[in-house]
A and B are shown apart, each in its own frame.
Chain A
Amino acid sequence: MTSKDVHRPHDSSVCDSAKLADNSEDEGDDSDTGSTGSASSYSQSDYSDDLEPEWLDDVQKNGELFYLELSEGEEEAALAHAGALQGLPTNHVRFSDKEAEVITDGGKHKEKGKAEHKLKKLAKILRKKRPSQRRAEGSWGAGSGGQAHPPHPTSILKNQVGQRPGVVVQQRLLKEVYVYLNPKRLGSCSPPLGKGGLLEALVGLVHRPAWGKGEGGGVGQQEERLTVHGLVPSSPAIKCAQILIGDVLVAVDDVDVTSENIERVLSCIPGPMQETASCRLLYRGPLPTGLARPEGGRHPAALWGDPESRRVQRSQLVKLLWGGDAVELQMSIGHVPHIVMYLTLRLDSESSREDQEILYQYPVSEASLQLKGVRGIFLTLCDMLENVTGGQIISSSLLLSKQLVHVGYWKDGDNLLVLGLPAERVPLLHLKTVIGGVVRTLRVMYGSLDRAFCESENGPRLDHFFCLLFQQLIQPSRLSDSPGAPPPDASSTLFLDGLPAVRWLTLPPEIKVEIDTVLSDFESSDFGEMSEDFFGMRRLYVTLGSCLFYKGYLIANHLAKEDLLDVSLYCQHYCLLPLACEQRIGQLVIWREVFPQRRATPGPRAAGGLLRAPGPLLPPHRGTGRLSVCPVCPVVPPQRHFMQCVLLEAGGCAAPAVGVQGPDCVYVDQVKATLLQLEGLDGGIEERLATPPAPCLSCADWFLPAGRDAVASSPVFGRLAGAVKAPSPAGRRGLFGEAAASLRGRRPSPQRSLSDSGSEGPGDGRRDSLGSGASDGSAGSGGLFKIPRKKHPNPFYLGTLKKSLTERETEDMYNTMK
């Protein structure tokens, strides 16, 4: 059962965590937002892990927080894999004799994430400011080629190769090394920033300027090359095992570095961000001769490497949640017609702007442009059908260049929400569920559709929201872990997503009682000397209730039914439930204002009218709650699958709610503490997850001869085959582990996962005899890989097959497949 756990690529004994945060929802500078909220007393300079939570920097101006952190083990595994990928033909940079081809598949240059912007900007600034630097580049080139040339523009590579064909061979000596850097680590271990500076402290490279004197001997010795004279033990540089003494550091990310600007460049790495947390250090490659490096190939060429290749391995889902580089994913579905538009039916006849009726639109791709072009249809139909048939339009279908596209409608006052999706991905029945879910989630998040779509600052957030939505609907396979896997079973995903319910795991009474007690303790808000009562203050929030998820299953709920639906819809739209199944999460803290729909509907607690009132600056008031999601505990590594969602009410009977309020450290810490308390219970929950289904379940397909072939080509085997196909030795383990992880993530029920693991596991004698008819099944997995022991489990014996794969067994299977 716990094959994933066993195969965790890196043991999580690393106590420090990589901190990666989403800042996609905020265009502004982080340092501004850090001072908002209740934790404003901490200043940036108080840099201590004890006092300041990691997520504080990421709190937005409006007090919202979405903070996601990977465990360091995961991060480094991803980098190691990416390093191995460099040698693959899939690499995006290729050299030919004359010129470098940069193979782009569609606009990759543009798709830098927002988090990268700062460094990009910096690079530009540096280039502008440094005419001398450019000259230095040129002169380096001249030093070897004996030919001076004007300063280079940005595309170093092209000039380099074009002008100096002679050094092409030497370019192989350039290597790109990805090093995982975490500037925040400096704060804790704080080595003396002595003469080595950041280069030594952060990267772990020793460079002694004096040693290099006289080596190059050319012009521009003010800015010296950064020859590696030594490596700091247990530093990122030595960990990556690719930097050798004698190498020359040429560029960090895309910025050329010399001894003059290296400190500046490194100091600008803005904290543990996604993009910049791992710097691409560019080295001149090692010569096999050893430590003493000859003086060859001193051209400072930089590879214009594609950052995508590095990130191939990292889960697309995590990437999406970070919001960094959705563009690539979005590009890949650019040809699929899909659109969301918020249109107004109240047209101003005077203003003649062409698209005045569009209040919001996403995405802007070619196929969606066509749908945008026919928005007149949607508006007219909405208007007319009400008169003709007396009902509100809910859907229409149209053929868009031979492809059937379903369009769902939701009329809200004078405005109309239109959601168009291709029929082959989203059947009409499901589309109605989808649009209902979208509307409800948006109402939970923003109070009303008008407020969500009409306030301009919500634009980027909505983009992110709908990007996630479309990715989930159109290419769910891309969000799972293994690249190149066949699309998962669409019908089962549709079925599970469409259920108006949360998947629930029943627990043995003693565990249930214990969990409920822990949750109740938390909900009583009796935080001892941390609570407001202790200081005689009014409470900031009233805890309305909380619910607890384990690996995507609801295990305890103290929320009202409607509130639970609100919370789970939010979690579903932000993929938090599948996310919690993967073990890669270090910490996830979400804090945001929500508008529970239970209260929005007019009733005895008539806060509804206020909530729906439009207005640009609606302060949180009576009836708005704050949702704090704090799923995992950063300190206890082994089991990090708990996710607790807490609904807090601001401005109820407690203190009046004034203005925007950021996350409250005390409450978040208390949630963390609650989760810590629960850590001990995961054994019992795991056991419950692993128990056989009470009536034995099996797939009807296994009884049919035709069905067996279908099983053979099922996503499970396809994934396994796809995973093994990756030829990198370093990546295999990780890939396999993740294939298993995604398999877990997709399972519709514990029972189903049981059968999956049964069909995957090595067959024992009993099944050998019964499953012999299916030995031709490997045709489905591409023929490249024969999995000799692949057998279909006998459906009658499923109940006894619940044993999990032990380490040895998975190892065995792994070897067989190799």
Chain B
Amino acid sequence: MCAMLQAGSLHLLCLTASSGVPLFSRGVSRQLPFSVIGSLNGVHMFGGGQGAVLSCCETDSGGRVVWKVFQESVMLIAVNGEQGGAVDDFQLRRLLENTWNCMVLVLGQDELVNARNVERLKRDLRSCYRLIDLFLEGAGDGMGDLTHCADCLLVPQPGPLQEALDTFTQASESEFGCLLVHGKVVVATEKWWRLAPQEVVLLSALVRTFSGSSSCDHPVFLPQGSPTVPLRLLRFQLLPGADLCVLCGPAPSLQTAESQLVARFWCPLVETLRGCLALSGRCLPGSVKLHGDVLGLLLINRESRRAVSTVTPGDTPPGRPRPARCRELLRLFYVFAATRYLGPEEAGVPGERRQGDPLEEDFTLGFSHQPLQCYLVTEECKLFGLQTPQHQLYLLMPVSVPTFALRSLATRTLSALTSSTGF
């Protein structure tokens, strides 16, 4: 049978929960017919009326559908076609959450929950398409969409940058400031880090969608912090790829800030910024030496909810996966390990997560203790996951590395990373 969805395609449907009017539909393949959208929604609505809330289903060829209703007003459905590789339940759920957060970020919760005019809402939602598509495509080279941790770029000497950012933010009558290089946080003010991790991820993604070199003033709602009151996000492009963001109230106009403050604080640091841009592929300072067999890694600081991920650049010897594939493998391994063994990093106390989302089946139910390490050996690569109270490290290595060496390689990499960067 010819499937309506092409292989590996991911489709996102948005409808109003009460009436089932389609709001938008995003996806790389062609549109699903209206009848299919209607029945996908109808099945869920029917179950809801009977007290059975449908959450997901799976087909033998790896296809998957996930439903979720947000604020009892918007229904989001993610449909994954067959043979798209193993797209996990976890990934689709994160996608739905991120999509909802995008919608709130751009339009505000009130607009979505109390939409009076559906046609207008549809039009308004077009402004989120770019952001949603970014998440649908896997959020570039970051992992924040999955990990819900801010992707960071570690620089050798963050001191001057931090200082400049703090004073600049103060001068802009704000407490929330952040310097991004290619969508990764280089430095941010203390308050910025106190935003919900999803919001940091979301704001980084939003900045990536801004095109052009001009500064801009964008109203944003924070899904957790202020879902109903908009704030202003001022964005200045310092260099191509290096963006400065400030969240502020009505006070400094964009012109004032741009003309008076930006040049004053940041001109002296142009060379440092250039150095940051040069690091953007690796995300790690050059002083950090990784073992030659490390193809890629993802390091998460569980306390500060920041993450660094890197893959070795392009010129790989034959037999080793290409960088893009490395990134994909790392993402898949994160999903594998996080859902089964190590737990998503927001776990905190192990017992608490279990009451959290009833939809998430607890794989660890059979374990009497918390796993600390896990590894996976495939035909393509070997992977090792490691967890300490403060960090999680996911390591991608070629098949040639002997399995017994994985653990020592991982522990040594972790200590090298933490000691040299203080991450």
> Are A and B a genuine interacting pair, yes or no?
yes
Residues of A within 8 A of B (CB): 370-371, 373-374, 376-377, 380-381, 384-406, 423-424, 427-428, 489-492, 494, 701, 704, 706-707, 710
- Does B110 belong to the interface (CB within 8 Å)? no
Q: Which residue of B lies closest to A420 (CB)?
A: B52
Not counting A374-B47, A706-B369, a sample of 17 additional A-B residue pairs whose C-beta atoms are within 8 angstroms of each other reads: A374-B46, A376-B43, A377-B43, A384-B40, A386-B59, A387-B3, A388-B36, A388-B40, A389-B5, A389-B65, A397-B54, A397-B57, A398-B52, A400-B52, A401-B51, A428-B361, A704-B369
Query: Cβ of A402: which chain B residues have Cβ within 8 Å of it?
Result: 358
Q: Please tell me if the beta carbons of A374 and B62 are within 8 angstroms of each other in the complex.
A: no
- Does B55 belong to the interface (CB within 8 Å)? yes
Among A398, A402, A489, A701, the most chain B Cβ lie within 10 Å of the Cβ of A398
Interface residues of B in 38-88 (CB under 8 A from A): 39-40, 42-43, 46-47, 50-65, 79-82
* Chain A min CB distance to B72 (Å): 15
Query: Cβ of A386: which chain B residues have Cβ within 8 Å of it?
Result: 1, 59
Q: How far is the CA of A396 from the CA of B61 in the complex (A)?
A: 14
Query: Cβ of A371: which chain B residues have Cβ within 8 Å of it?
Result: 52
Q: How far is the CA of A384 from the CA of B46 in the complex (A)?
A: 15
Interface residues of B in 338-359 (CB under 8 A from A): 358-359
- Does B267 belong to the interface (CB within 8 Å)? no
Q: How far is the CA of A74 from the CA of B61 in the complex (A)?
A: 51
Among B36, B47, B61, B358, the most chain A Cβ lie within 10 Å of the Cβ of B47
Q: Please tell me if the beta carbons of A388 and B359 are within 8 angstroms of each other in the complex.
A: no
Query: Cβ of B361: which chain A residues have Cβ within 8 Å of it?
Result: 397, 404, 406, 423, 427-428
Q: Please tell me if the beta carbons of B57 and A385 are within 8 angstroms of each other in the complex.
A: yes
* Chain B min CB distance to A671 (Å): 39
Q: Please tell me if the beta carbons of A398 and B369 are within 8 angstroms of each other in the complex.
A: no
- Does B365 belong to the interface (CB within 8 Å)? yes
Q: How far is the CA of A303 from the CA of B3 in the complex (A)?
A: 68
Q: How far is the CA of A491 from the CA of B369 in the complex (A)?
A: 13
Q: Please tell me if the beta carbons of B3 and A390 are within 8 angstroms of each other in the complex.
A: yes
Q: Which residue of A lies closest to B36 (CB)?
A: A388
- Does B366 belong to the interface (CB within 8 Å)? yes
Q: Please tell me if the beta carbons of A394 and B54 are within 8 angstroms of each other in the complex.
A: no
Q: Please tell me if the beta carbons of A404 and B359 are within 8 angstroms of each other in the complex.
A: yes
Q: List 22 A-B contacts (CB under 8 A).
A: A370-B51, A373-B52, A374-B46, A374-B52, A376-B43, A377-B47, A377-B54, A381-B43, A385-B59, A388-B4, A388-B63, A390-B4, A391-B3, A396-B56, A397-B56, A397-B359, A399-B359, A404-B55, A428-B361, A490-B366, A491-B366, A701-B368
Partner of B57, one of A381, A390, A427: A381
Q: Which 9 A-B pairs have the closest CB atoms?
A: A491-B366, A390-B3, A389-B63, A391-B61, A391-B59, A396-B57, A399-B53, A374-B52, A710-B368
Q: Beyond A388-B36, A389-B61, A391-B62, is A707–B368 a contact (Cβ under 8 Å)?
A: yes
Query: Cβ of B61: which chain A residues have Cβ within 8 Å of it?
Result: 389-392
Q: Please tell me if the beta carbons of A398 and B53 are within 8 angstroms of each other in the complex.
A: yes
Query: Cβ of B39: which chain A residues have Cβ within 8 Å of it?
Result: 380, 384
Q: Please tell me if the beta carbons of A385 and B63 are within 8 angstroms of each other in the complex.
A: yes
Query: Cβ of B79: which chain A residues have Cβ within 8 Å of it?
Result: 388-389
- Does B405 belong to the interface (CB within 8 Å)? no
Q: Which residue of B lies closest to A714 (CB)?
A: B368
Q: Please tell me if the beta carbons of B365 and A491 are within 8 angstroms of each other in the complex.
A: yes
Q: Which residue of B lies closest to A493 (CB)?
A: B366
* Chain A min CB distance to B384 (Å): 19
* Chain A min CB distance to B135 (Å): 21
Q: How far is the CA of A693 from the CA of B349 in the complex (A)?
A: 38
* Chain B min CB distance to A409 (Å): 9
Q: Which residue of A lies closest to B364 (CB)?
A: A491
Query: Cβ of B4: which chain A residues have Cβ within 8 Å of it?
Result: 387-388, 390
Q: Please tell me if the beta carbons of B40 and A394 are within 8 angstroms of each other in the complex.
A: no
Partner of A389, one of B59, B363, B369: B59
* Chain B min CB distance to A339 (Å): 12
Q: How far is the CA of A490 from the CA of B367 in the complex (A)?
A: 10
Query: Cβ of A388: which chain B residues have Cβ within 8 Å of it?
Result: 3-5, 32, 36, 40, 63, 65, 79, 81
Q: How far is the CA of A423 from the CA of B81 in the complex (A)?
A: 25
Q: How far is the CA of A376 from the CA of B42 in the complex (A)?
A: 10
* Chain B min CB distance to A576 (Å): 26
Query: Cβ of A428: which chain B residues have Cβ within 8 Å of it?
Result: 361
* Chain A min CB distance to B174 (Å): 42
Q: Which residue of A lies closest to B7 (CB)?
A: A390
Interface residues of B in 1-46 (CB under 8 A from A): 1-5, 32, 36, 39-40, 42-43, 46
Query: Cβ of A376: which chain B residues have Cβ within 8 Å of it?
Result: 43, 46
Q: Please tell me if the beta carbons of B52 and A377 are within 8 angstroms of each other in the complex.
A: yes
Q: How far is the CA of A380 from the CA of B52 in the complex (A)?
A: 15
Query: Cβ of B55: which chain A residues have Cβ within 8 Å of it?
Result: 397-399, 404
Q: Please tell me if the beta carbons of A394 and B60 are within 8 angstroms of each other in the complex.
A: yes
Q: How far is the CA of A371 from the CA of B358 in the complex (A)?
A: 18
Q: Beyond A390-B82, A399-B359, A404-B358, is A373–B50 a contact (Cβ under 8 Å)?
A: yes
* Chain A min CB distance to B40 (Å): 7
Q: How far is the CA of A491 from the CA of B46 in the complex (A)?
A: 34
Query: Cβ of A492: which chain B residues have Cβ within 8 Å of it?
Result: 366
Query: Cβ of B51: which chain A residues have Cβ within 8 Å of it?
Result: 370, 400-401
Q: How far is the CA of A149 from the CA of B50 in the complex (A)?
A: 53
Q: How far is the CA of A223 from the CA of B244 in the complex (A)?
A: 106
* Chain A min CB distance to B41 (Å): 11
Q: Which residue of A lies closest to B363 (CB)?
A: A427
* Chain B min CB distance to A474 (Å): 15
Query: Cβ of A381: which chain B residues have Cβ within 8 Å of it?
Result: 43, 57
Query: Cβ of A701: which chain B residues have Cβ within 8 Å of it?
Result: 368-369
* Chain A min CB distance to B143 (Å): 25
Query: Cβ of A405: which chain B residues have Cβ within 8 Å of it?
Result: 52
Query: Cβ of B358: which chain A residues have Cβ within 8 Å of it?
Result: 399, 402-404
Q: Which residue of A lies closest to B62 (CB)?
A: A391
Q: Please tell me if the beta carbons of A389 and B3 are within 8 angstroms of each other in the complex.
A: yes
Q: How far is the CA of A424 from the CA of B355 in the complex (A)?
A: 13
Q: Beyond A380-B43, A387-B1, A707-B368, is A370–B359 a contact (Cβ under 8 Å)?
A: no
Q: Which residue of B lies closest to A427 (CB)?
A: B361
Query: Cβ of B62: which chain A residues have Cβ within 8 Å of it?
Result: 391
Q: How far is the CA of A400 from the CA of B358 in the complex (A)?
A: 11
Q: How far is the CA of A427 from the CA of B365 in the complex (A)?
A: 10
Q: How far is the CA of A376 from the CA of B49 in the complex (A)?
A: 12
Q: Please tell me if the beta carbons of B54 and A398 are within 8 angstroms of each other in the complex.
A: yes
Q: How far is the CA of A706 from the CA of B54 in the complex (A)?
A: 38
Q: How far is the CA of A391 from the CA of B65 in the complex (A)?
A: 12
Among A377, A395, A402, A490, the most chain B Cβ lie within 10 Å of the Cβ of A377
Q: Please tell me if the beta carbons of B54 and A396 are within 8 angstroms of each other in the complex.
A: yes
Q: Which residue of A lies closest to B55 (CB)?
A: A397
Query: Cβ of A387: which chain B residues have Cβ within 8 Å of it?
Result: 1, 3-4, 36
Partner of A390, one of B2, B40, B359, B367: B2
Q: How far is the CA of A405 from the CA of B39 in the complex (A)?
A: 21
Q: Which residue of B lies closest to A411 (CB)?
A: B60
Q: How far is the CA of A424 from the CA of B43 in the complex (A)?
A: 24
Query: Cβ of A380: which chain B residues have Cβ within 8 Å of it?
Result: 39, 42-43
Q: Please tell me if the beta carbons of A707 and B369 are within 8 angstroms of each other in the complex.
A: yes
* Chain B min CB distance to A580 (Å): 27
Q: How far is the CA of A399 from the CA of B54 in the complex (A)?
A: 6
Q: Please tell me if the beta carbons of A494 and B58 are within 8 angstroms of each other in the complex.
A: no
* Chain A min CB distance to B364 (Å): 10
Query: Cβ of B365: which chain A residues have Cβ within 8 Å of it?
Result: 424, 427, 490-491
Q: How far is the CA of A423 from the CA of B361 in the complex (A)?
A: 7
Q: Which residue of A lies closest to B57 (CB)?
A: A396
Query: Cβ of A397: which chain B residues have Cβ within 8 Å of it?
Result: 54-57, 359, 361
Q: Please tell me if the beta carbons of B50 and A374 are within 8 angstroms of each other in the complex.
A: yes
Q: Please tell me if the beta carbons of B36 and A392 are within 8 angstroms of each other in the complex.
A: no
* Chain B min CB distance to A492 (Å): 8
Query: Cβ of A390: which chain B residues have Cβ within 8 Å of it?
Result: 1-5, 59, 61, 63, 81-82
Q: Which residue of B lies closest to A401 (CB)?
A: B51
Q: How far is the CA of A792 from the CA of B48 in the complex (A)?
A: 51
Q: How far is the CA of A52 from the CA of B46 in the complex (A)?
A: 59
Query: Cβ of B367: which chain A residues have Cβ within 8 Å of it?
Result: 491
Q: How far is the CA of A508 from the CA of B62 in the complex (A)?
A: 46
